[in-house]
Amino acid sequence: MNSQHHRRDSGVIPSMEGSFQALTNNTLVVVFGASGDLAKKKTFPALFGLYRNGFLPADVRIIGYARTKMDDTDYHKRITQYIKNDAQDPEITDKIEEFKKICTYIAGSYDKDEDFIRLEAHLKEIESHYKGAGKNRIFYMALPPSVFLSVASGLKKNNYSKEGGNRIVVEKPFGKDTESAKALLAGLKEHWTEDETFRIDHYLGKEMVKNLLVLRFANIAFNSAWDKNTVSNVQITFKEPFGTEGRGGYFDEFGMIRDVLQNHLTQVLTILTMERPVSFAAEDIRDEKVKVLRTIPPIERGDVLLGQYVAANGNPGYLDDDTVPKGSTCPTFAATTLWIHNPRWEGVPFILKAGKALNEAKVEVRIQYKDVTQGIFKNISRNEMVIRMQPNEAIYIKMNTKMPGLQTRAMPTEMDLTYKRRFEDAKIPEAYEALILDAFKGDHSNFVRDDELDQAWKIFTPILHWIEGREGEKPTPSPYPYGSRGPAELEDFTHKYGYLRSDNSYNWPITNISKI
């Protein structure tokens, strides 16, 4: 009996079973920007995934709101076109039809009270059929930041439920620099409390990012070697194999640093480097993340490498995109090195790299350890831990072992935890599914807090202003061919921070020693 009880409780994290204010019934979800790309590609497929698997309240209704005029047929086609059902599974097909029945649409502006009042009449009509106390509302803003404040204000004035819980989910970008982010934060706080606000960074919903806390703090073997005494350098890498493809106008306004480094990769960095929290409760985790950010000074210009892709291999360059301003110097590749001034990480470089039109699609963390003491071995490979976030989630540790056979020679190999091989029957949820479910639960641990956002902008704002020419002449990004690894200077850039590239003969994973 005791052993059964032990197995049932094995691995439980008590502080994550806290008393969240979960919305379990009588709940409406209003998706603003329902006609946009983000809503149709991410928000609605995630809501469907939760609905299909029974994670949404049984009586949930989803209301789309946007300026575009659409009838129900057009609306339902738009919100379901990115739901995956390649095999035409009849169960999924039936669920899609059910899902359409709980989704309605209202067209209106983002700054006129009369349109919000019309929306309120629609919400009230739906809620009139709810039974029991409490009428809850989640407002999801799949919108550009230019309309955040007008919508937040209009919702609080006209659509705030006085009979239940209210939550507002805000998508990035949260401003363009420290000043604009502070204005956005202050504007939202005029109408919505921090407890009601959920700022989404979808990387915090990715399985391997959520696994970092368990990997670090549930494994003493790893955590004891997680500091400046053993780690030489850390790289956090984001690679896309495609360019702007007609979206250059939007990209040119924000750039690679705002689009990826300041938010996604910095969030990964904080979880990777934070101290052990008191518990896994939301505020305890976010407190430790903020402590890390406060120890990172603004990035120096000498710690930055910028690039812009040019035409190659039959693919157009960035400036060949008609939507990109002529002569733009906007970087499509950026590598920045951050330094954490605390006892654990002093002197360890953290290299954040992101780029478009590169040689592959990949997001990973690569922790490279220091050299072993010299004298016994010659030219032996460094240990590395690689956490692959996408594609093909995996954790592998590059280590040295004796080559099998009569010869005594060290060779690099790996301890490999590839998810699709180890967990054959596991379905890894989409990041948006995990985060929207957390918003229903009221769990803030995977959302960005206001002071966290402020500290992250302070790190990046000076180099952003430099890149935009606010402090003298703009830097010129180095050209790199479409489909390459990035600028030619990249290898020298990482090498100067102590990174030693693996022997070219080593490829993960090695399964045949005859290839060595």
Which residues are known to be catalytic?
264
What phi, psi does 31 have (nearest 5°)? -100, 110
Beta carbons within 8 Å of 223's beta carbon, 6+ residues apart: 216, 217, 276
Is 332 strand, coil or helix?
coil
Give 41-44 contacts, CB < 8 A, sequence gap 24+.
Answer: 41/82, 42/142, 42/202, 42/430, 42/432, 43/140, 43/142, 43/432, 43/436, 44/79, 44/80, 44/82, 44/83, 44/103
Axis crossing angle, helix 178-189 with helix 148-158, rounded to the nearest 10 = 10
Would you give the DSSP letter of residue 508? S
Beta strands (DSSP E) in 19-111 are 27-32, 61-66, 103-107
Torsion of CA 80, 86, 89, 91, to 10 degrees: -30
Residue in 192, 279, 197 with CA at minimum distance from that of residue 449: 197
The number of angstroms, rounded, from the C-alpha of 82 to the middle of its chain's C-alpha atoms is 20
Handedness of CA 125, 137, 202, 466 (dihedral sign): positive
Distance CA 141, CA 149 (A): 11
Joined tokens for residue 501: 């590239």
The CA radius of gyration of the chain, in Å to the nearest whole number, is: 25
Torsion of CA 324, 328, 333, 338, to 10 degrees: -130
Q: List, as one string, the DSSP characters of 207-220.
A: HHHHHHHHHHHS-H
Distance CA 286, CA 281 (A): 9
Query: For tokens 């054959």, what's the residue?
Result: 424
User: How crowded is residue 65: how many other Cβ atoms within 10 Å of its Cβ?
Assistant: 27
Contact status, residue 516 vs residue 411, Cβ threshold 8 Å: yes
What phi, psi does 145 have (nearest 5°)? -60, -20
Contact status, residue 347 vs residue 355, Cβ threshold 8 Å: no
